[in-house]
Structure 1
Amino acid sequence: MKFLVISDIHGSAAYMKKALEAYALHKPDHILLLGDILYHGPRNPLPPDYNPQQVVAMLNPLADKITAVRGNCDAEVDQMLLNFDILRDCATIFFGGRRITATHGHLFPLDPPPHSFPGDIYLYGHIHIPVIRQENGITLLNPGSITLPKQNSPHTYGLLDENGFTIMTENHEVYQSLAF
């Protein structure tokens, strides 16, 4: 099984199109959205091609393939437009003999890494910076932001399968990877 992992779209139709290119190229079985799907938030600049309604139109046809978690910029009004659940704080995924906790990252501190969450992989977004790190027996994975990267990181998304996690640039080139 293969997952396309996308975080922090923030309503950008242009970068949602890039994510759909990745979907067509990599042919994942499932899509994980790690929050901040439609709204850009008061602390972020207006993203390129900001068009939440167009992002909705691109995501809803894929609703049966999407698992999403709530980001700090997501709200009940967003849920009214989307045909898949975005209001859960965490999702637990079992595959490849691993238990993965997926969350946006704003509710649970990462410094030090969480010790109380169930699982051996902690998948999160929120910080807009790609991360692959192992600490205290926990693998921390962040695909970065497809739309608004920070700290000079590129626009990125992730691919997760039984063999590992790969962070890809918007141009579909490998940025970082970790084999399991």
Structure 2
Amino acid sequence: MKIVIISDTHLPKRAKGLPARLMAELADTDLIIHAGDWQTIEVFHELQTYAKVEGVFGNVDDDTIKEHFPAKRILELGEFKIGIVHGHGKGKTTDKRAIQAFAEDEVDCIIFGHSHIPVKKAENGILLFNPGSPTDKRRQKLFSFGIFQIGDTMEAEHIFFN
């Protein structure tokens, strides 16, 4: 199963549309996960033309997005439990807020966004993954998103592009 992981699209504020590099990967994906800050529901509508879309809302999302998506969710994909949260809030780092959101849950991976900083690291046996942003790189050198391959194992990688 191929899963495209995105966050912080901020469309149409930060870009006019989804970048070609991302759309190329969407063409053959089985699932899309968005970790919040969609900005408008039109992003969801466009993404669902490629594959099923799961996600959460972020701190800049409007009520329409909040009606469609929760603040936090857990997906069971094969043998793996994937937690998804945007990661916004007060105090602590974005990583720590994401971990705290699932403190009472058993998950294999936590996908989060908010900081626009790509992260892939293990902490206490849990994979922490922030895809960065495909449309608003802020102080990062490159735009980014993620791809997970899930089968008997779970493999995660970032895709970086200009």
Structure 1 residues 93 and 153 mapped into 2: Cα distance closer, same or farther (>3 Å)?
farther
User: 1:166 corresponds to which residue?
Assistant: 157
What's the counterpart of residue 96 of structure 2?
111
Q: Distance in 2 between matches of 1:61 and 1:30?
A: 11
TM-aligned CA deviation for residue 151 of structure 1: 3.3
Partners of 1:153 and 1:140 in 2: CA distance: 21
CA separation of 1:106 and 1:23: change in aligned 2, threshold 3 A: same
Measure the CA separation in 2 of the matches of 1:128 and 1:135.
19
What 5-or-longer segments of structure 1 have no aligned partner?
A: 40-51, 172-180
- The residue identity in structure 2 corresponding to 1:66 is V
Amino acid paired to 2:82 = I
TM-aligned CA deviation for residue 117 of structure 1: 3.5
CA 1:75 to 1:138, structure 2 compared with 1: closer, same or farther past 3 Å?
A: same
1:98 is aligned to: 80
Which of 34, 57, 68 pairs up with 1:70?
A: 57
Greater displacement, 70-79 / 128-137: 70-79
Alignment RMSD: 2.6
Instruction: Find the aligned partners of 2:4 and 2:78 in 1 and give their Cα distance.
Output: 15
For 1:18-67, what per-residue CA distance to the aligned partner results, in whole angstroms no more than 9, with x for missing partners?
3322212xx1101111111126xxxxxxxxxxxx85x46633534x6111
Q: Tell me what 1:127 maps to.
A: 115
Using the size of structure 1 for normalisation, the TM-score is 0.71
User: Normalising by structure 2, what TM-score?
Assistant: 0.78
Contact preservation (8 Å) 2:115, 2:132: yes
Does the CA-based 8 Å contact 1:147-1:155 persist in structure 2? yes
Tell me the percent identity: 29
The 5 A counterparts of 1:1-180 are 1-12=1-12, 13-18=15-20, 19-24=22-27, 27-38=28-39, 55=43, 58-59=46-47, 61-62=49-50, 65-78=52-65, 85=68, 87-107=69-89, 110-111=95-96, 113-114=99-100, 115-162=103-150, 163-170=154-161
Tell me, yes or no, if the aligned pair for 2:58 and 2:88 is still in contact at 8 Å.
Answer: yes
Aligned residue-pair number? 150
Moved over 4 A (4+): none
